[in-house]
Chains A and B, each alone.
Chain A
Amino acid sequence: MRKKLNYKRMEGLQGYVFILPWIVGFIAFTAGPLIFSFAASFTNYNITSQMDFVGFDNYENLFTADNLFWTSLYNTLYYVLFSIPLTTAGAIFLSALLNQDVPGIRFFRTIYYLPAVLSGVGVYLLWMQLLDPGTGLVNTALGWFGIPGPNWLFDPDWTKPALIFMKLWSVGGGMLLYLASMQGVSKSLYEAAKIDGASSWQQFRFITIPMITPVIFFDIVTSLIGGFQIFQEAYVMSNGEGGPVNSMLFYNLYMWKKAFESFDMGYAMAMSWILFIIVFIITIINLKLAPRWVHYEGEER
């Protein structure tokens, strides 16, 4: 009995050793920085000389005296509001097409997935060329149909649609997520529906969609968190400026400029907490709404 107890304790100790790297990392790179950042958001911290308590001044200035804050928030919301429904619907549509018995289906899946693994400056440069008004492929292709293409990255009205367009290219990442879940849907459900005379569309609408709602939910939650953090493409494609006319000044880009260009660190950290709160509230709303539309197998409707 006693030996067993001792063993249990020993085993528990081993457990802590296993997760020790995570605990250290969590304290040093997540929890510690979070606490510091929260405290520093109430100061005029500039990393070198000053760190005076200023109360809610940073937060107050953001909301009342900083037009660029609102611009960056608007740009980010615009991007999130359009890109997430489009990529989600696109990924579901594509996975439905790829979930059929068609010759060469494996090849097709590979092709559609490829852009999702490509990222970084190389991809942004490629899209800057594709969207180039004079020499780019996109406007050339639009020209074949007699459509005069916009100036994309040079026209403040078209910069955000351009980024959304670019995002849609890599819709294959989400596609695979949905495909995996569609393949898990029991065949007998479809057979039963077919015998009842359900059309392909009805099968898709009333079997496939409800069965994959958990993955739709997961995708929407993670894409929202990711979408609010758009930074790299805007930085590279606007040379770190967020132009033209601040149309690519997204929330994180503005925060970056405040933190690392003007070293208004306290101010930037206050900004980061506002973003955190926005993302947190949206995630909570998502979790609250989930029971209304997300269908888990084995659950009574």
Chain B
Amino acid sequence: MANARTRIAGGTRTRFSAHLGRRLVRGCADQLIDSPATVVALLLAFGFCTMAVFAPWLAPHDTSDVGTLDLMQALRPPVWLEGGDWAYLLGTDDQGRDMLSGIIFGARTSLLVSGVAVLLATLLGTAVGLFCGWVGGRPDAVLMRIAEVQLSFPAILIVLLIDGLGRTAVSTDLHNVAAVPVLIIAIALSNWVQIARTVRGSSMAEKNKEYVQAARVLGIHPAAILLRHILPNIFAPVLVIATLGIAGAILTEATLSFLGVGVPPTQPSLGTLIRFGNNFLISGEWWMTVFPGLALVLLALSVNIVGDWLRDVLNPKLS
């Protein structure tokens, strides 16, 4: 009985996450049998995340430390080719920087930028979506028109705009410092609309359900109804869209960095690595661009597959 009482007293949050967790575990077990591709993708995504978090300890060289650079080691091919060195598994670039370490640090930057951007987009999108879905009427119409206008501007355009303004307004040093936040904001701005629309649609459907009406009859504050009743019930699709959004954001970040308006050259990202490697592709040093490219493809693909898997697992009609 005492045990039962403590369980009754459990908070909404733990109950909610326990519920989600159970479904994830069950879905995971099913997928192990059904689709080996998903398992590989899950492992890969997990591997990339671990790599990103522990980059300073995992990477064989510190690419940001100019003191360790050795120009004699420049343009070394991967270890299995003639002239390869075990110290540089995937070869080096024209400055003698280790490609493997570059990729590890680059994946870190890419994941950081896209993760924070999508987090911001999710927060903004969920807030706007819940508000619009609940209030409806004119505020909803106005905000959704703004969202549609926003939707017609791709992230590249936003970054180029802010970047262009920034270059004329501030010094290069400040510009380099501000580059990553600008990138994050631009990617977040191009992602929030989709989340806001999904949240708005689901919460509109949810708000007319009788459990929400019952809460309204109790006189519970709308904010509490939104956070405690509606949000947990519409969270599954948000999670899926956010995960798929991370895959998209990784590619956007790489694209922008490839174009030279993303992460500053002093900080490796997968996009910048590909951009620099690209100059050497014709002259035979293919590893400088192929390996970061491969890493980018694997990262985006695995995150995408994880997103698809989440969508299936969290869909009650499929599980």
A, B: real partners: no
Seen from chain A, the residues whose Cβ lies within 8 Å of a Cβ on chain B are: none
Seen from chain B, the residues whose Cβ lies within 8 Å of a Cβ on chain A are: none
